[in-house]
């Protein structure tokens, strides 16, 4: 086969020019489509954001997790419904939350690519598949199952208290973030896998683990934009990764341990978790009616890793943030002390969960902690595949990705006057029950946080110790040390919330008998 002479004489530069021209024409056509023809073209928002994902990339990667604040600015300029990228809308209307998250909802695959846990609940896109995958795990994290694990939770909480006492006697400063992350990690690994890392016993509560959790969540922003990059990183030998970033050693050991736990259960050698009253999460999955395709080691490992990340980081952030606000507001601490003095007359004995959870002011403090710590700060995008949604005079076509953010609801001054003020009393005032529907730290619907009952138990026990033991009428005191409000306020959205760069975290010192 021969080609015409004029074709065979095309030079290499001419080929490059032709390809570049074709690429330019394609990009221009794509931008014109996105701005003027797309079903989302009539929604308000910055034209640059509608034209390209590079707009979000700039705020999330270059500015390090600041796109959430740009979205907030968009709402201030354009109203309650904005187009934040070429294919996604964002809504800031608290009354729309139930409409968006209740019912049959899919996830946006582009947003689930941020987490390197293929096959996990969090990264499952389709509603029906998510429902099937969640079914065998839901009983494992039910309120009844958590009650059976009560001794395990109390044991770790008491372990935390004992370590803090050691710091008190030594006059040492405690980084609360590291301490709380150590405790929540020990609890979720013990509960889910039947083994604990005992980070509570490590020097300084193993601060490298907190650092690597932060690094991994920040990396998620790049994973979403460039999912192929994570695949390439996965090919790098582990020894090289650890050499480049020594703190990755704990994370790689964690992944290896989860993989080994999966293999032990699959081979029939793994034992159940006696403290929880039932087997590990992997036993629960294997005993379910899920098909064999759902039981691959890779999927089970991804599920385990995702559970630990969710169970450790968000609860630790909640506890660190809420304890800061308790200590920074003496009237709140005093009221809590008065209540705990009656509920916990012997400071050495922690009352049972069912008693503590009935204390009105402790419950109000816990609710205010949920509001001001927000849970996951990242927008949670959902797709109503078969439903047309109505909000603020706009009609959203079926199949459109739409997101909302917990912090914009929790800091809404129309719902919560003085939203930046930690004021538990708002939950004891008339109308507080109706206000609870706007607390969305655990989100809602079929994808509501799987571990919320476990988190609530950890939270109630630790907050009880803040006033009942760590700050008591007998003279024992926990005080903030070298910590400002900016060390706890959210400064970056790495899916999980983090304070300003350079912050040393929330630090305390303990004194007294």
Average pLDDT on 179-201 reads: 91
Average pLDDT of every residue of the chain = 89
Please tell me the least confidently modeled range out of 178-187, 206-215, 324-333, 364-373.
206-215
Residue 286's pLDDT is 82
Q: Is the pLDDT of residue 193 over 90?
A: no
The rounded distance, in Å, linking the Cα atoms of 505 and 483 is: 7
Percent of the chain at pLDDT > 90 equals: 65
Q: What does the pLDDT look like over 266-312, one tens digit per residue? A: 776 555 554 444 468 888 888 888 888 888 888 888 888 888 888 89
Q: Do the Cβ atoms of 483 and 506 come closer than 8 Å?
A: yes
Which of the pair, 226 or 8, is modelled with greater confidence? 226
Residue 113's pLDDT band, with cuts at 50, 70 and 90, is: confident
216 is in an annotated binding site: no
Classify each residue of 90-108 as buried b or exposed e, where b means 16 or more C-beta atoms within 10 Å of its C-beta. bbbbbebbebbbeebbbbb
Residue 406's pLDDT is 96
Three-state DSSP at 387 gives coil
Q: Is the pLDDT of residue 392 over 50?
A: yes
Of 348, 343, 365, nearest to 423 by C-alpha is 365
Residue 13's pLDDT is 78
Q: Which CATH architecture has domain 87-511?
A: Orthogonal Bundle (1.10)
Average pLDDT on 330-340 reads: 95
Residue 266's pLDDT is 75
Question: Which residues, at least 6 apart from 513, have a Cβ–Cβ distance to it below 8 Å?
Answer: 474, 475, 476
Q: What does the pLDDT look like over 30-70, one tens digit per residue? A: 999 999 999 999 999 999 999 999 999 999 999 999 999 99
| Domain spans in the chain, listed from the N-terminal domain onward | 5-37, 87-511
Q: Is the pLDDT of residue 4 over 60?
A: no
Q: What does the pLDDT look like over 136-169, one tens digit per residue? A: 999 999 999 999 999 999 999 999 999 999 999 9
Do β-strands 389-391 and 496-498 pair in parallel, antiparallel, or remain unpaired? unpaired
Residue 233's pLDDT band, with cuts at 50, 70 and 90, is: low
């Amino acid at each position: 086969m021969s080609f015409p002479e004029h074709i065979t004489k095309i030079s290499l530069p001419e080929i490059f020019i032709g390809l570049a021209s074709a690429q330019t024409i394609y990009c221009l056509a794509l931008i014109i489509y996105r701005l003027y023809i797309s079903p989302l073209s009539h929604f308000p928002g910055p034209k640059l954001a509608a034209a390209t994902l590079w707009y979000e990339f700039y705020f999330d990667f270059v500015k390090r997790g600041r796109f959430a604040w740009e979205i907030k600015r968009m709402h201030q300029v354009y109203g309650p419904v904005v187009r934040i990228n070429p294919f996604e809308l964002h809504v800031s209307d608290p009354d729309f939350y139930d409409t968006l998250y209740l019912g049959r909802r899919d996830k946006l695959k582009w947003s689930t690519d941020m987490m390197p846990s293929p096959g996990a609940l969090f990264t499952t896109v389709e509603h029906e598949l998510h429902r099937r995958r969640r079914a065998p795990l839901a009983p494992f994290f039910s309120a009844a199952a958590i009650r059976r694990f009560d001794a395990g939770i109390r044991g770790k909480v008491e372990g935390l208290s004992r370590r803090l006492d050691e710091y008190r006697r030594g006059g040492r400063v405690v980084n609360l973030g590291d301490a709380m992350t150590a405790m929540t990690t020990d609890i979720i690994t013990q509960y889910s896998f039947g083994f604990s890392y005992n980070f509570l016993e490590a020097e300084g509560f193993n601060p490298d683990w907190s650092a690597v959790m932060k690094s991994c969540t920040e990396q998620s922003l790049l994973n979403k934009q460039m999912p192929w990059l994570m695949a390439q990183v996965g090919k790098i030998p582990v020894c090289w990764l650890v050499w480049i970033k020594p703190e990755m050693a704990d994370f790689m050991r964690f992944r290896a341990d989860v993989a080994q736990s999966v293999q032990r259960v699959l081979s029939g050698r793994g034992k159940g978790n006696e403290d929880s009253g039932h087997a590990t999460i992997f036993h629960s999955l294997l005993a379910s009616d899920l098909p064999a395709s759902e039981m691959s080691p890779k999927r089970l490992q991804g599920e385990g890793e995702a559970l630990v990340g969710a169970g450790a980081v968000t609860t630790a952030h909640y506890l660190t943030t809420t304890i800061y606000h308790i200590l920074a507001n003496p009237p709140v601490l005093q009221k809590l002390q008065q209540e705990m003095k009656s509920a916990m007359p012997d400071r050495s004995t922690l009352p049972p969960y069912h008693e503590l959870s009935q204390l009105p002011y402790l419950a109000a403090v816990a609710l205010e902690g949920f509001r001001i710590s927000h849970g996951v700060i990242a927008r949670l995008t959902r797709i109503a595949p078969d439903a047309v949604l109505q909000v603020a005079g706009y009609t959203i076509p079926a199949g459109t990705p739409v997101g909302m953010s917990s912090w914009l609801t929790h800091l809404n001054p129309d719902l919560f006057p003085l939203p930046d003020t930690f004021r538990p009393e708002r939950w004891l005032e008339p109308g507080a029950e109706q206000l609870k529907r706007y607390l969305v730290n655990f989100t809602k619907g079929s994808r509501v946080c799987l571990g919320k009952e476990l988190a609530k138990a950890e939270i109630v026990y630790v907050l009880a110790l803040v006033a009942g033991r760590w700050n008591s009428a007998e003279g024992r005191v926990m005080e903030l040390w070298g910590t400002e409000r900016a060390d706890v306020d959210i400064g970056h959205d790495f899916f999980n919330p983090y304070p300003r760069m350079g912050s040393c975290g929330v630090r305390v010192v303990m004194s007294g008998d």
